[in-house]
Amino acid sequence: MSHTVKSGNLGYPRIGGQREWKKAIEAYWAGKLEEQQLHEQLTQIRLNNLQQQRDQGLEIIPVGDFTYYDHVLDMAVMFGLVPERFTYNGGEVPLDTYYAIARGNKEATASEMTKWYNTNYHYIVPELGARKPQLTVNRPLVAYREAKEKLGIEGRPVLIGLYSFLKLSKGFNEATEWDHWVSQLLPLYIQILKELIAEGTAWVQFDEPSLVTSVTNEDIARVKAIYEKIHREAPEISILLQTYFEAIDRYEDVVSLPVAGIGLDFIHGGDGNLAALRKFSFPRGKTLGAGVVDGRNIWRTDLYRQAELLQEILTLAPDADIVVQPSCSLLHVPVSAKQEQELDTVLHEALSFAEEKLDEIVALSKAVNQGIESVKSAFENNRIALDNLAKDPARNRANVSAAVQKISAEPAVRDSEFVVRRKKQKEKWHLPVLPTTTIGSFPQTAEVRSARQKWRKGEWSQEKYDSFIKEHIQKWISLQEEIGIDVLVHGEFERTDMVEFFGEKLPGFAFTKGGWVQSYGTRCVKPPVIYGDVDFDQPMTVKETEYAQSLTNKPVKGMLTGPITILNWSFVRSDLSREQVAYQIALALRKEVEALEQAGIEMIQVDEPALREGLPLKREDWNGYLDWSVKAFRITTSTVRDTTQIHTHMCYCEFHDIIDSIRALDADVISIETSRSHGELVHSFEEHTYDLGIGLGVYDIHSPRVPSVEEMTSMIDRALQVLDPELFWINPDCGLKTRGVEETVQSLKNMVLAASKYRAKESAVSTN
């Protein structure tokens, strides 16, 4: 049995070790860099990324995965698919137009942004529209030439495959216009390949992650038609058709496509891909890209275990060339763990960011080619690091595991049903019809941010910082009372990120110094690391909320981030199921909810904006995830008294898809971010009854403009055509942290006026 085993990569983080990429682009936006300077700086980052991969011994290096904002947007502008509302007359798309599509400008709104499959990265959605596509510039060819000419690297160009590109796009009717758009775009893909062939390119990577979603017979026929046409027109080039994030259900169909190689994810959906490989083997003479290193999480790979997996893959695909690679592009992980020296040694040694993952890939390929003895020290160091992490007391809290085991076997339900609770809460609170509230945060001004920095750096004492926070709470409680809001919030001035705040206070979490990843555009986030058993240490929000409540006779909501959002926006330990970790977080938050209630806070909001984000890619897997997600929320909230009102908040997310699960949360009131999709959501209530308390955001907090009373009244009228006024709340569609003070106050005044106008109208009707 003879094999050629190589080491390869699928994509590298764009942002640079110190976020140089972000800083350069934002300097250009601010007018501090000329366009040529931006090109020079980003070129240097791009070449450094390629050099880094070569220096680490990687044999197959991707090119064309670098971007100035987003790789899906790059594909759209490469084809001249600029939305009609932007000024564009053909040819290569100017940089300012490129950024306008992503961010909007004075004349036109930005294109929609949405999640890249089930990751925390967000892409710009291509708008196909009326423009006839053209090849404005062959970006893969440019990237291939640059790597070869400047570094002597024979790179492998990366493109999004046509099937996935169309699945990711909007502005066309898939049922009736699919063939039209294939006929428009497929010749451009073939042109790209022919120009690459002329340049001497041997391989190209077509990313087709949509093949791991629920794929129909019609979809498979479409995919076959695309790749058969490509093979006929450009047979000289070898295509690696790369899938990731899940197993492919249509394994036999996909591996039989006329391409030279297939990339499979053996981490996420690995069981499914391995089962298919065991059942159907792998075609003779093709290359198998074996994704055996996790491209989405930050833990060391178990090298011994993955070496065994590779041996099984070699046995199951005896006539294939094998490439050892990550499960997906490494854009989802930070650049390097070298700067995390301040972390506990056991934790630091167990981390693997992009650079470390490349070392693991090279070590695994050497182990297969030359035997494990050739990389013995790397494998042994790896084993020691993983053993130390497994034995760490933080991962072995007996009280936590016992509590999770107990709650897993029990239902998590309130003492009474909503109709009973509603009556008791109505008697307790005496709120008007259409009560007004906000979602939680108020403007975090430069003064607030500066104070937090001074406190973190030790320039301010705890007492001085606490006094500052109290002043702001007092100011905004007074403002809310003056405006006439019915249910108040303390403003969250002590908080930065809604997950980080809680993670810093819960045992089991850690925070990196440089663990930045790209969320969207130049927005980078530093997710918390859930490395140990999550436990409750002491109250986290009671002090500020209790103080706010002492200033007013109106109810003040306690504000928490829910267990599923904390889970989905963190790097999560891989030795437990996500369900088990969610229950750990939920039990810790339950103690916080109980502490708030004991302190006299009897309206408590547990936000779950990321609930839908965690949905599996295959619909048949949705119910399992939703069942334990709902249970985690209910673990957090189910022990309070009937008179304690539980609120939650979500972002608009194709609500109708999961309305049954949202109802099953059994929150007394849910507020939903809907101002940009208000009509769509209201329409979903025409088809689905919702009989719990609900607030549809009546104005868009993402815009600095102040909405008029009439605009908000119109939104209220539309919603009340399908929702019960007795259950309806009036609120902005999200938190107000990023808004200015004056616009916030005026917008809230208009919101209260809109509610008052409705109440006056209803009062007049009832009097008559």
Q: Is 19 annotated as a binding residue?
A: yes
Candidates 126, 204, 212; CA nearest to 170 is: 126
Q: Residue 428 class from Cβ within 10 Å (0-12 exposed, 13-18 middle, 19+ buried)?
A: middle
What's the pLDDT score for residue 705?
Answer: 76
Mean per-residue pLDDT, 456-476: 94
pLDDT value at 764 more than 70: no
- Binned at pLDDT 50, 70 and 90, residue 289 comes out as very high
Q: Is 328 annotated as a binding residue?
A: no
Q: How far is CA 767 from CA 216, 431, 615, 755, 764, in A?
A: 58, 20, 49, 18, 5
Q: Is 441 annotated as a binding residue?
A: yes
pLDDT value at 418 more than 90: yes
What's the pLDDT score for residue 762?
Answer: 73
Mean per-residue pLDDT, 159-177: 96
Q: Is 20 annotated as a binding residue?
A: yes
What's the pLDDT score for residue 672?
Answer: 84
CB atoms within 10 A of CB 560: 26
For residues 44 and 74, give the distance between their C-alpha atoms in angstroms, rounded to a whole number: 19
pLDDT digits (tens, 9 = 90+) for 592-614: 999 999 999 999 999 998 898 88
Q: Is 46 annotated as a binding residue?
A: no
Of 39, 430, 490, 702, which residue is the catalytic one?
Answer: 702
Q: Any bridge partners for residue 118, and if so which?
A: none
- Binned at pLDDT 50, 70 and 90, residue 738 comes out as confident
Q: Are strands 321-326 and 122-124 parallel, antiparallel or unpaired?
A: unpaired
Q: Is 695 annotated as a binding residue?
A: no
- Binned at pLDDT 50, 70 and 90, residue 675 comes out as low
Q: Is 39 annotated as a binding residue?
A: no
Query: Could you give the percent of the chain with pLDDT greater than 70?
Result: 97
pLDDT value at 172 more than 70: yes
Mean per-residue pLDDT, 50-66: 98
What's the pLDDT score for residue 766?
Answer: 57
pLDDT digits (tens, 9 = 90+) for 551-590: 999 999 999 999 999 999 999 999 999 999 999 999 999 9
What's the pLDDT score for residue 701?
Answer: 75
| Token digits of residue 147 | 């790597």
What's the pLDDT score for residue 402?
Answer: 96
Mean per-residue pLDDT, 437-465: 92
Q: How many CA atoms lie within 13 A of 343 on its CB side?
A: 22
What's the whole-model pTM score? 0.92
| Mean pLDDT for the chain overall | 93
What's the pLDDT score for residue 1?
Answer: 44
pLDDT digits (tens, 9 = 90+) for 123-145: 999 999 889 999 999 999 999 99
Radius of gyration, alpha carbons of the chain: 27
For residues 547 and 596, give the distance between their C-alpha atoms in angstroms, rounded to a whole number: 12
Q: Is 573 annotated as a binding residue?
A: no
Q: Is the dihedral of CA 468, 471, 477, 483 positive or negative?
A: negative
Question: Do 557 and 607 touch, CB atoms closer than 8 A?
Answer: no
Q: Is 112 annotated as a binding residue?
A: no
pLDDT digits (tens, 9 = 90+) for 252-268: 999 999 999 999 999 99
What's the pLDDT score for residue 451?
Answer: 92
What are the backbone angles phi and psi of residue 646, rounded to the nearest 5°?
Answer: -95, 125
- Binned at pLDDT 50, 70 and 90, residue 3 comes out as low
For residues 562 and 560, give the distance between their C-alpha atoms in angstroms, rounded to a whole number: 6
For tokens 């104005």, name the residue.
Answer: 699
Mean per-residue pLDDT, 704-723: 86
For residues 314 and 290, give the distance between their C-alpha atoms in angstroms, rounded to a whole number: 10
Q: Is 447 annotated as a binding residue?
A: no
Q: Is 22 annotated as a binding residue?
A: yes
Q: Is 597 annotated as a binding residue?
A: no
For residues 195 and 186, give the distance between their C-alpha atoms in angstroms, rounded to a whole number: 14
pLDDT value at 89 more than 60: yes
Of 682 and 239, more confident: 239
Q: Is 71 annotated as a binding residue?
A: no
pLDDT value at 226 more than 90: yes
For the chain, domain boundaries: 418-494+541-577+594-611+630-763
What are the backbone angles phi and psi of residue 3, rounded to the nearest 5°?
Answer: -130, 145
Q: How far is CA 409 from CA 349, 581, 591, in A?
A: 35, 15, 19
Q: Is 523 annotated as a binding residue?
A: yes
pLDDT value at 2 more than 60: no
Q: Is 421 annotated as a binding residue?
A: no
State the DSSP string of 429-463.
Answer: H-PPSS-B---SB----HHHHHHHHHHHTTSS-HH
Question: Do 333 and 354 touch, CB atoms closer than 8 A?
Answer: yes
Q: Is 440 annotated as a binding residue?
A: yes
The most distant pair of C-alpha atoms in the chain lies apart, rounded to whole Å, by 91
Amino acid making up residue 99: Y
pLDDT value at 33 more than 50: yes
Q: Is 651 annotated as a binding residue?
A: yes
Mean per-residue pLDDT, 199-208: 98
Q: What is the DSSP letter of 632?
A: H
| Token digits of residue 311 | 């041996």
What is residue 509's three-state secondary structure?
strand
Q: Is 653 annotated as a binding residue?
A: no
Torsion of CA 306, 312, 316, 318, to 10 degrees: 90
- Binned at pLDDT 50, 70 and 90, residue 702 comes out as low
Mean per-residue pLDDT, 323-349: 97
What is residue 325's three-state secondary structure?
strand
Q: Which of 19-23, 236-240, 293-297, 650-654 has the weakest average pLDDT?
A: 650-654
pLDDT digits (tens, 9 = 90+) for 477-517: 999 999 999 999 999 999 888 898 999 999 999 999 999 99
Q: Is 607 annotated as a binding residue?
A: yes
Q: Are strands 523-525 and 517-520 parallel, antiparallel or unpaired?
A: antiparallel
What's the pLDDT score for residue 518?
Answer: 96
CATH code, residues 418-494+541-577+594-611+630-763: 3.20.20.210
3 is catalytic: no
What's the pLDDT score for residue 269?
Answer: 87
